[in-house]
Structure 1
């Protein structure tokens, strides 16, 4: 069962519950983030969400640092510890306040720990605006990958204390999977909801190209960092010399990737890519591999499913905890390397590969609509402070 040519994914109309209503039209939402827009999963999550929701709410804007630096909003920055390709930014408080005043929000969402988030929280308290916290990152697991225990343990304890305080300031908390949900509850969150991840509109609307049969090309897209497992992808390239591997992204592992691209004829380093280029490169490949040890959701995996590509990842990735999407994923088991798992896929027929992947491909549109419905409901409840505890929709 091989795709015979470009195939347009139909753009489905918004379900009735997504159509504009007075409840949503009154919403004016400020999302204030310390993550640089578009530079990592968290930085793209809210850009994609806003793209979908802008037509359904009164106003929704993302305020925070951008890749090209906003000279008016950003006072100064320093390299992120452990990753000099990212920045910790201190805002111009007067400019941030001015932009918030212009927006006149009736809900402030804080998805990060940092100076932008802190000043947004102070602003919301002063103006008596409801605050919602987005709980994305398990700092204990992340820090242990970069520093020895003698450093990571006290630093993780400090960040957890800050996170606990931040969560207690919020009327509601959002998390991206069941593990983050439980972590938020353990930190003292009273009202937590689990959200899915939206798919960027371009990934849904553009026709996708056919895949190779058998598999010939594999791509990794993400931050080139220890927790993302890019080293395992390069090891797999060494073993599977007849398969072409493309690596897209930036981070502290860039030199390692560049060295491998010079040494191995089947490895190409694409650098950091715009979202349009990410879509184009995914379409040029057959398998997206995401061997992350820590991944709150894995937006790029969802994007690859939207492009009807095979997705190979670890069960720890947040997307694997959503039953409708997990059904068609290919897994790197705990006792396997990326090379081992890819070898299993290479030994499957094209018919068997597509039969396994089809349930996840078919679930993407419904999952996207479900995510948007949940977000609209969350925003409306959070803005008026009515938030009954809701359990997870994820496994």
Structure 2
């Protein structure tokens, strides 16, 4: 369990912060900002850094109007809704030439990430690697891949080893991911937290209702998310409405499940700009994942003072201060049981815990920003004020 040390008032958003006016940061990622948690992480981090004066280039594919932009698209095995894009070497190199970065951040082991690694080395600037997803564990869930799973695992492991070898620092978002990074070969690895979109912090939180009736899941519709327990919870709790937002390989299966359950609704892919309103419209968020290195959507819901129900597999549970504001799914119970406990809790206690969660999320966001600014300046010895 990780413990965020603090002697400050967590309700204050104006904590002392580092200035970043001297920083020129290139963030190179295979994850499109609108398509998954990794993409959202660096879009949000870039926004916070720019607000502190840094020049930031977020170099990544884009998905607009149902089309992919930024390179030659290749299919991603196991998920037809995602693509891997092979970028233009010359275009990315020119963007880096214009920025002249003093540090390059790489967040994925795909073609964009590997090219970012190479160009950082050629320019002789620091390389920081963000280790967000244990892809090798995810491929193990796709049993029908057969030999493709082994090939994917071999590729991903080799790319991670190379990225870790070339980097000055690897940042991971939970103690479990730190251990995985070290096992793969990371020599210098530290903990990072997850940034929260500025709008989630700048706008006052809207209070949840006194009853728990409207439940949200938002994320990829994929096996690691354990979506079947949400469907079963909808069967067991007909008085609750379950909303599922996202896209992924299990979309067709979920559409079939919704046909037989009037309280289960698949609302599909939701643009990032609409997530805040969607979170504010529900009484609780659930994340019952089998594999979840952190759980960004859970942190965002906490920042909006919404009760969050997550499984023990979610990395966010390893942050002690955050976990105090979370309603865990116990190992011996179903999601439906956890939601029943939440529903039966005194509304004042639910509200008090939700405020604890929001306070912790606000403070962690500020400390994470200060930590990132120090790291981007080359201060690899500074901690995020988290003790094991």
Whether these two folds match at TM > 0.5 is yes
Give how far 1:392 is off: 7.9
Verify: 1:229 aligned to 2:222, yes or no: no
Aligned to 1:141: 137
**Deviation per residue, 1:346-390 (Å, 9 max, x gap):** 222213323444422221211111111111111111xxxx53485
Distance 1:330 1:223 in 2: 22
Of the three residues 180, 184, 187, the one matched with 1:183 is 180
Q: Cα 1:391–1:199, aligned 2, differ >3 Å: closer, same or farther?
A: closer
User: What TM-score does the superposition give when structure 1 sets the normalisation length?
Assistant: 0.89
Aligned to 1:119: 115
Of the three residues 40, 48, 51, the one matched with 2:47 is 51
Verify: 1:106 aligned to 2:102, yes or no: yes
User: What TM-score does the superposition give when structure 2 sets the normalisation length?
Assistant: 0.91
Distance 1:390 1:204 in 2: 23
Verify: 1:171 aligned to 2:164, yes or no: no
Structure 2: tracts of 5 or more residues without a match: 1-9
Aligned to 1:290: 287
**Deviation per residue, 1:115-151 (Å, 9 max, x gap):** 1111122212222122111111212321111136954
Greater Cα offset, 352-361 or 80-89: 352-361
Aligned to 1:393: 386
Moved over 3 A (4+): 10-14, 69-73, 148-155, 355-358, 388-392
Distance 2:199 2:239 in 1: 31
CA contact (8 A) 1:192 1:390 kept: no
Q: Cα 1:305–1:136, aligned 2, differ >3 Å: closer, same or farther?
A: same
Of the three residues 363, 372, 375, the one matched with 2:372 is 375
Local SS of the residue matching 1:247: strand
- How much is the aligned-residue C-alpha RMSD, in angstroms? 2.4
Distance 1:276 1:288 in 2: 18
CA contact (8 A) 2:81 2:249 kept: yes
**Deviation per residue, 1:267-315 (Å, 9 max, x gap):** 2221111123111111111010001111121111111111111000012
Distance 1:250 1:72 in 2: 15
Q: Cα 1:17–1:186, aligned 2, differ >3 Å: closer, same or farther?
A: same
CA contact (8 A) 1:322 1:394 kept: no
Structure 1: tracts of 5 or more residues without a match: 1-9
- The correspondence of residues 355-374 of structure 1 with structure 2, limited to 5 A, is 355-374=352-371
CA contact (8 A) 1:73 1:96 kept: no
Distance 1:149 1:389 in 2: 42
Distance 1:184 1:75 in 2: 29
Aligned to 2:309: 312
Local SS of the residue matching 1:133: strand
